Amino acid sequence: MNFGMGGRMQPMLRAMRSRNYRLFFIGQGISLVGTWMTQTAAIWLVYHLTNSAWLLGVVGFASQFPNFLLTPFAGVMVDRWSRHRTIVITQVLAMIQSLTLATLVLTGTIQFWQIVALSVFQGCINAFDMPARQAFVIQLVERPEDLSNAIALNSSLFSSARLIGPAIAGLVIATAGIGACFLIDGLSYIAVIAGLLAMQLTPAQTRSQLKHPHLWQQLQEGLSYTFGFPPIRAILLLIALVSFVGMPYMTLAPIFAQEVLQGDATTLGLLMAASGLGALIAAVYLSSRSNILGLGRVIAIAPAMFGLALLVFARSQVLWLSVLAMILLGSSLILQHTSSNTILQTIVEEDKRGRVMSFYMMAFTSMSTFGNLLAGAIASRIGAPDTLLIGGGFCILGSVLFYRQLPTMRQFIHPIYRQIGLLPRAKPGLG
C-alpha cells in the first residue's frame, strides 16, 4: 500500500497495513466527530440552562466520577473478558445514551437532573470502554514495530475529531439547535459498531486473557505492579496532576467564550476547535517519529507547555490570543498523553495490560472529575481566570519534578527496550 506521493506518507501510516486496525480507525473516526459535537453541545446546554460555573463543574463531576469508582475493577474485567466484545457492548450503550439525550432535547423536556443522570450513565460506560479500547489496539496491529505508530494515529484521529466536531457543533447549534448535535452523535455510533463487527479476529484475540477467578486478588496484583514500577508510577502521577489542575479549562471554556470574550456558541466551538488543531499538529508529529526513543523527555516538557498556555489563556481578553493559547493547550496535552500511552503500552506485561490501562484512564479522566468539581467551586468564588492561573502553576511544577526523574526512569525502561529490540545497543538514546 502506497500512502501519498512517492510513498512519503507510508511511514506515518504504517499501522494502516493491518486490516483490523483500518476498520477500527475509520469507524472510530466517524464516531469521535459526533462525540465531540456532543461534548461541545452539552456544556453549552448546561451553561444555557443554569448560567452557573458551579453546575458546569457538577456535570463534569457526574460524567467522570463513575470512572473513579469503577475503572480499577473494569481493568480486571477487561483482562478477563474479550476486549472486542466489551467494546461492541459499550458502543451500543453509548449510542442509546446519545439518542436518549437527543430525544429529550428535541422534545423540549430536557432538565438539568436528566443531564446529570445521563452523564453518570455515560461515565459508567466509559469506565469499561476506555481501558478495553486502549488495551485492544495492540491486538489490531500485525507488526509489533507498528504499535507506536498505531497509538500516534489514534491520537491524530482523536485530535482531528476535536478539531472538526466542535466546529461543526457551533454551526449546528446556531442553525438546527442543540438537539441535532446529540442526534448526529447517536447515529455516528453505527460506523464504529459496523467496523468492529467486520473485523476478522483469531480465537486468541477474542478469548479472555486472565485465568484467575479472584477479582480482588487480581486487582491487588494490578495495583502492586502499576505503582511498584517507578516509570509507570511517575508517568501516571504526572498525568493525574495535569488532569486534576489543568483539564478543567475545557469545563470552564463556556465562561471564557461568553463572559470574557463576549461571544456565543460559535466562539466556544472555535476555541474547542483550536484546541483540536493543536492536538492534531502534535499527533502528526508523533506519528512521524520513527521510534519510541526520546518520548520520556517529551512527557517531561509537555506539562510545562500546557501550564504556560493556561497562564496565557487565563489572562487573554482577545479572541486571537485565546485561540493561540488553545492551540498550545491541545498540542501539549496530546504530546504528554500519547507519549505516555506509547511508553506504557510498550513496557507493560500483556496479562496486566487492561489493569494498567485502567489506571492510566483513571489518572487521565477520573482525576479531572475532582478537578472539574473543585474548579467549578473555586471559579464561583475567585473567577475562572484566576482558577486557571493556579492550575497552570502546578502543571509547570509537575513538569520540573518529572524531568528530574528521567535518569532514574531510563535505568528501568532501557532493559525492556533492549529485550524487545527497540533500543540500539550501540546507541542507547533517551527513554
pLDDT in tens, 111-165: 889 988 988 888 888 888 877 877 787 778 777 667 777 777 776 676 667 667 7
User: Rounded to whole angstroms, how far apart are CA atoms 225 and 356?
Assistant: 8
The segments of the chain whose pLDDT lies below 50 read 1-6, 8-9, 205, 209-210, 426-431
Quick one: fold of 15-200+223-419? Growth Hormone; Chain: A; (1.20.1250)
Specify the pTM. 0.72
- Annotated domain spans of the chain: 15-200+223-419
User: Rounded to whole angstroms, how far apart are CA atoms 240 and 222?
Assistant: 18
Q: What is the pLDDT of residue 4?
A: 43
Q: What is the pLDDT of residue 8?
A: 47
Segment (H or E) for 396? helix 384-419
Q: What is the pLDDT of residue 2?
A: 43
Q: What is the pLDDT of residue 306?
A: 96
One-letter amino acid for residue 90 of the chain:
T
**Biggest distance spanned by C-alpha atoms of the chain:** 67
Contact between residue 340 and residue 288 where contact means Cβ atoms under 8 Å apart = no
User: Rounded to whole angstroms, how far apart are CA atoms 271 and 263?
Assistant: 11
Which phi and psi angles does 293 have, rounded to 5°?
-65, 135
Find the DSSP H helices in 246-318: 248-251, 253-255, 265-288, 295-315
User: Rounded to whole angstroms, how far apart are CA atoms 331 and 281?
Assistant: 6
Q: What is the pLDDT of residue 390?
A: 93
Q: Which residue has 443554569 as its cell numbers?
A: 50
